[in-house]
Amino acid sequence: MKILGIETSCDETAVCLIKASGTGPEDFTYKVLGNALYSQVAIHAPYGGVFPNLAKREHAKNLVPLLTQALQQSGLLLEGLTFQYSGRSDLPTLLVREPELLEQLTEFLAQYGKPDIDAIAVTAGPGLEPALWVGVNFARALSLVWDIPIVAVNHMEGHVMMSMAQCEVDSEQLTVDRREIASNPSVNCKLSTVDFPLLSLLISGGHTELVLSTEWMKYQRIGETRDDAVGEAFDKVARMLGLPYPGGPEISRLAASAHAEGITEVFALPRPMIGEDNYDFSFSGLKTAVKRLAEAHPDMSDDEKKDLAREFEDAAADVLVAKTLRAAEEYGAQTVLVGGGVSANTYIRQRLAEATAGAGHIQLLVPPPELATDNALMIALPGYFRALKKEFADLTTLRANGNLRLS
Ligand code: KG4
Ligand code: ZN
């Protein structure tokens, strides 16, 4: 089965084509046929965070070029094969809020034939609603004219499956900051086999949650952040230290220098909710504590900044690891998985690896670092399994939902 994945939930516009077979993690194999990603980070950087309407506009501008690239790379771009599509008259209504996208898509449809694809998987949520809508409307338009069914994918399930992917992915394959086609990895990829219960720690710019799965593709959230997401805290703390957006990698880099240079501990930060008897998190107090320290030390030296970054990363890791391990013990998790943009963090990965190794026979799954942040492969993967179960969305009622929950 060939699946087209589309992701626009935040500031990454991405399109991916996979060819997959199998029924579950045991016998699943897939190949990435085409993968194109455009990161908007440089555009949002001056604002210190993602500006939803700007994100929406950029998605609308980039979806058709990325689709063209991904199809071309897959050998599925059928040039000169004009075809008569149904629903032509409905397109302007569907894309009324995205005139530039409508124009580009109309041109695209006049130029290229219907590709051999079995389903279109699109992120329906959670995320920034204006951004999500662009992807959803694009998917609906393609579904309408090509007569190909749509699968509505939960972005968080995408992060879960991405962390199970066992694939030698060439880092050239996903490009950041530029629009570029990925090279075609003709290797067969698989998913790790998972022993249940599975506990997933999902940490990103918008989410921090612990999710329990007692069986494949079933999810129960057992804890979440009560305020800021951990990635958001990384981004805000970075800004306080005068570092560019996105701040996660910047903080991580400073903290690593502090470790490497053996900078002595100058600052101390709290570990919010670490001892509380629940699986919830809170990062807003930690962020405020950093703010107070930064205000009290307006002329911080470079070493002090490194130490503050290290202490912040340590505090975040302490809380994430302690709560994850406690939940893993309580629920008898056989597998612990970490996913989402913050799971690219080397230090957090290392701390989780040490903790799970110390806890006995818990298997730890982490995503390939370059696939930890948003991409469309993570959407195509659950798209395949949902398509297999024929969980297709109704074109007329499909909605973007910024608060979509895993269930
Ligand atoms: O999953 P993602 O790409 O987008 C959302 O769904 O939110 O996550 C983006 C977040 C940003 O907050 C970014 O700062 C953070 O992931 N991030 C990191 C690292 N790389 C990305 N945080 C800490 N350390 C990193 N190395
Ligand atoms: Zn994400």
What is the structure's pLDDT at 180? 35
The CA R_g of the chain, rounded to the nearest whole Å, is 21
383 lines ligand 1 (CB under 6 A): no
Asked if residue 246 has a cis previous peptide bond (ω within 30° of 0), the answer is yes
> Of ligand 1's atoms, which has the minimum distance to the CA of residue 340?
1
Ligand 1, atom 22, lies closest to the CA of 248
- Pairing relation of β-strands 220-224 and 165-166? unpaired
SS3 (DSSP) at 1: coil
Examine the pLDDT at 87 and tell me if it is beyond 70.
no
66 lines ligand 1 (CB under 6 A): no
CA-to-CA distance for 290 and 282, rounded, in angstroms?
A: 14
What is the structure's pLDDT at 83? 67
- For residue 158, the ligand closest to its alpha carbon is 2
Place of tokens 């989402």: 340
Domains of the chain: 2-191+371-388 (3.30.420.40), 198-333 (3.30.420.40)
Ligand 1, atom 23, lies closest to the CA of 248
Examine the pLDDT at 182 and tell me if it is beyond 90.
no
> Of ligand 1's atoms, which has the minimum distance to the CA of residue 127?
6
CA-to-CA distance for 177 and 162, rounded, in angstroms?
A: 21
Among 160, 204, 252, 351, which is best to mutate for testing ligand 1, by the most ligand atoms less than 8 A from CB?
204
Check if the beta carbon of residue 384 is closer than 8 Å to that of residue 30: yes
Q: Note the pLDDT tens digit of each residue in 147-173.
A: 999 999 999 999 999 999 876 544 444
68 lines ligand 1 (CB under 6 A): no
95 lines ligand 1 (CB under 6 A): no
Q: Note the pLDDT tens digit of each residue in 334-348.
A: 999 999 999 999 999
- What is the whole-number distance in angstroms between the Cα of residue 6 and the centre of ligand 2? 13
> Of ligand 1's atoms, which has the minimum distance to the CA of residue 159?
1
Alpha helices in 4-150 (DSSP H): 41-44, 52-74, 91-94, 99-111, 129-146
231 lines ligand 1 (CB under 6 A): yes
234 lines ligand 1 (CB under 6 A): yes
Residues in the chain: 407
- What is the whole-number distance in angstroms between the Cα of residue 231 and the centre of ligand 1? 5
Check if the beta carbon of residue 351 is closer than 8 Å to that of residue 323: no
Share of the chain above pLDDT 90, in %: 81
pLDDT band at 47 (very low <50, low <70, confident <90, very high): confident
- Which distant-in-sequence residues (6+ apart) come within 8 Å of 91 by Cβ? 102, 105, 106, 141, 144, 145
What is the structure's pLDDT at 85? 72
What is the structure's pLDDT at 117? 98
342 lines ligand 1 (CB under 6 A): yes
- Which distant-in-sequence residues (6+ apart) come within 8 Å of 63 by Cβ? 6, 8, 13, 15, 101, 104, 134, 135, 138
What is the structure's pLDDT at 90? 86
- For residue 246, the ligand closest to its alpha carbon is 1
> Of ligand 1's atoms, which has the minimum distance to the CA of residue 374?
3
- For residue 204, the ligand closest to its alpha carbon is 1
Examine the pLDDT at 176 and tell me if it is beyond 70.
no
DSSP for 278-299 reads: SS-B--HHHHHHHHHHHHH-TT
Ligand 1, atom 10, lies closest to the CA of 205
- What is the whole-number distance in angstroms between the Cα of residue 155 and the centre of ligand 2? 6
Check if the beta carbon of residue 63 is closer than 8 Å to that of residue 101: yes
Q: Note the pLDDT tens digit of each residue in 237-293.
A: 999 999 999 999 999 999 999 999 999 788 999 999 999 999 999 999 999 999 999
What is the structure's pLDDT at 179? 31
CA-to-CA distance for 323 and 305, rounded, in angstroms?
A: 27
What is the structure's pLDDT at 311? 97
Examine the pLDDT at 52 and tell me if it is beyond 80.
yes
Average pLDDT, the chain: 92
DSSP for 18-34 reads: EEEE-SSTTT-EEEEEE
Q: Note the pLDDT tens digit of each residue in 214-232.
A: 999 999 999 999 999 999 9
φ, ψ for residue 315, nearest 5 deg: -65, -45
- Which distant-in-sequence residues (6+ apart) come within 8 Å of 5 by Cβ? 14, 15, 16, 17, 18, 121, 122, 153, 376, 377, 378, 379, 380, 381, 383
CA-to-CA distance for 304 and 306, rounded, in angstroms?
A: 5
Check if the beta carbon of residue 8 is closer than 8 Å to that of residue 59: yes
- What is the whole-number distance in angstroms between the Cα of residue 342 and the centre of ligand 2? 9
Q: How far are the Cα atoms of 37, 160, 275, 326 from residue 230, in angstroms, in the given order?
A: 24, 17, 18, 19
- C-alpha torsion angle, residues 85, 89, 95, 101 (rounded to 10): 50
Examine the pLDDT at 406 and tell me if it is beyond 80.
yes
Count the neighbouring beta carbons within 10 Å of the beta carbon of residue 361. 8
Q: Note the pLDDT tens digit of each residue in 352-394.
A: 999 999 998 899 999 988 889 999 999 999 999 999 999 999 9
- What is the whole-number distance in angstroms between the Cα of residue 232 and the centre of ligand 1? 8
Among 157, 207, 234, which is best to mutate for testing ligand 1, by the most ligand atoms less than 8 A from CB?
234
pLDDT band at 308 (very low <50, low <70, confident <90, very high): very high
Q: Between 309 and 82, where is the model more confident?
A: 309
- Angle 154-224-242 from CA coordinates, rounded to 5°: 95
What is the structure's pLDDT at 181? 33
Q: Between 123 and 91, where is the model more confident?
A: 123
What is the structure's pLDDT at 172? 47
What is the structure's pLDDT at 13? 97
What is the structure's pLDDT at 167? 63
> Of ligand 1's atoms, which has the minimum distance to the CA of residue 344?
26
What is the structure's pLDDT at 187? 61
Phi-psi region of 286 (alpha: psi -120 to 50; beta: other; left: phi over 0): alpha
